[in-house]
Amino acid sequence: MSGKVIVSGVSIILVVGVAIGVVCVVNKTGNDPALAAHQKNVQSICSATEDQKLCQDTLGAAKPTNSSDPTAYLAAAVEASAK
């Protein structure tokens, strides 16, 4: 009987530990505002294209130094189409 209680206690501690770890990892990955702005810009630009996945893959790989400058994305698109 006491063995079942010990196993249950250890299991609960492990589940709580895993839950805390998941919350920490999820919160840690969303802290880069430059990356978030880059992703929003790429989604906004690619929303009007026929092949959105190709557009997002192409522009998503380009990392302009100034993500608020739309000409940087245009230059990345022209460069990708020239390849």
Smallest CA-to-CA distance from 71 within 82, 79, 32 is with 79
* Mean pLDDT calculated for residue range 25-52: 74
Q: Which domain holds residue 27?
A: 1-31
- Name the 3-class secondary structure at 1: coil
pLDDT for 72 = 78
Are residues 46 and 71 located together in one domain of the fold? yes
DSSP string, 19-83: HHHHHHHHHHHT--HHHHHHHHHHHHHHTTSS-HHHHHHHHHH---S-TT-HHHHHHHHHHHHH-
* pLDDT digit string, tens, across residues 17-26: 787 777 766 6
Whether residues 26 and 44 fall in one domain: no
Assess whether 47 and 76 both reside in one domain: yes
pLDDT in tens, 45-71: 888 888 888 888 888 777 666 667 777
Which pTM value belongs to this model?
0.50
